[in-house]
Amino acid sequence: MIIDRQHYVLCSHCDLVIELSDITVGHKAVCPRCNATLAKNNSNMKFSAVMYAICSLIMIIVACGFIFIDIRIVGNFIGVSVLDIPKTLFSDNYSYISALFILFVLLFPIFNLSIIVLLCSKLQLTKYRKRDLLVVYEKCQHWCMPEIFLTGILVSFVKLMSYGSIGVTGTFWAFCLFVFFYIKSLVIFSPETIWNEIHRSNFATDTPKVGKTGICQNLKLCKCCQAILPVHYVKCPRCKQKSNIRDRDKIQWTLALLVTSLILYIPANLFGIMITVVFGSSSTSTIMDGVIYMWQAGDIPVALVIFIASVVIPILKIISLSWLCYFALAVKRKNKQHCLRMKRLYTAVEFIGKWSMIDIFVVAVICSLVRNQQMMGVYPDIGVTFFATVVIITMIASQKFDPRLIWDRPKNRK
């Protein structure tokens, strides 16, 4: 089966004008210049996406209602549900981390799943409602982290074994299914299909010239709905969001945020992230203390995961984004191979950036479970707040960077 989609698109990564047509079901169209995915054709997209989204919502309701992890410490049984984790953090006066957990693990994913159900079901929604839902979906998508929390749970099991006997219930497997169905629904769902139902994607007054950049033809891309717009349009007619031909001014924001994250990264590593109290005696552990503990205990793979996610990735992300800003602003002689390397670097930074939150989720799980009152207790420390802020700031910094600047020639810079 082949669908006929003869329309023009502007690549969001390199600004090349491309004409799309005849995308076979199960295949996708990629940019010939930077290899970025432009469009895909999934058979029965709406039905498959809504089914996976509904299944995912059912699983998260089950996962939030019952105990999903338990631990036995010196004969005492302690069990927590997903909702008990933010409650514990809030009671420890870490409402900031509690709010991040609720937003990133629960609310934002549930919002996006609900939006998929509304847009892909047979409900009669006006084009204005569809537009608003798609804008919210786009805003929330970067901040959904249920899969990272699940990985954090698995990593925390290794350290929890030193405190007592760990057990999981059927609710834990319900949460695993929630994450699986959530990822499947996101992979299948195509916002472009819904946007095209609302309005056309090409608002150019003249036929775009294929193989040339949009900036050379006085065209720009709407970052929200991917529509092609003339440069004089202040707002996109389709999604009503403001758009610029280039976000060069945001490079200053990126650099400022990187400097801020680098400053905050120092106390994030110097201060402890957990306080362990045993028979009234307390000890503080930093991120590196956790890595060293895992390494000495023989859990080398887990130690490497924590070290890479919590130490290597934040530093590499700051260095990589700084290098991308330098390449976009200062390098005058660019060839395709150099630009492709920078594009791959930016894609990697976008993908791995939020995985640094894994250490925050490990702390949240351990602090919620190890609460044996007078005998033993684990509590979050101030370093976890600094580290979470570093991760969020670097994520915002990467979103501020415009990858099209990588491909711009000096004569096209405006």
CB 147 within 8 A of CB 46: no
**Cα 387 from chain centre:** 17
CB 287 within 8 A of CB 311: yes
What is the reported pLDDT for 406? 86
Listed by start position, the domains of the chain span: 2-43+200-230, 246-409
In which residue are the tokens 């709407």 written?
222
What is the reported pLDDT for 260? 94
CA distances from 111 to 116, 117, 139, 340, 391 (A): 9, 10, 11, 34, 22
What is the reported pLDDT for 34? 85
Angle at 396 between CA 40 and CA 196, to 5 degrees: 30
CA distances from 26 to 1, 196, 326 (A): 9, 19, 38
- For the domain spanning 246-409, the CATH number is 1.20.140
CA distances from 28 to 4, 31, 38, 40 (A): 13, 10, 7, 4
Which pair of tokens denotes residue 249? Answer: 């001014």
User: One digit per residue, pLDDT tens: the chain, 414 residues?
Assistant: 333 344 788 888 888 888 887 677 667 788 888 888 887 776 788 899 999 999 999 999 999 988 888 887 766 778 889 999 999 999 888 999 999 999 999 999 999 999 999 999 888 888 889 999 999 999 999 899 999 999 989 888 877 777 778 888 889 999 999 999 999 999 899 898 899 888 888 888 888 888 888 888 888 888 888 888 988 888 889 988 888 777 667 788 889 999 999 999 999 888 888 887 776 677 777 878 777 877 776 767 777 877 887 788 888 889 999 999 888 888 877 888 888 888 888 988 888 888 888 889 988 988 888 876 566 778 888 989 999 999 999 999 988 888 888 888 755 544
How deeply is 135 buried, as exposed, middle or buried, from its count of CB atoms within 10 A (0-12, 13-18, 19+)?
A: middle
CB 361 within 8 A of CB 149: yes
What is the reported pLDDT for 136? 93
Which pair of tokens denotes residue 399? Answer: 């979103």
What is the reported pLDDT for 5? 41
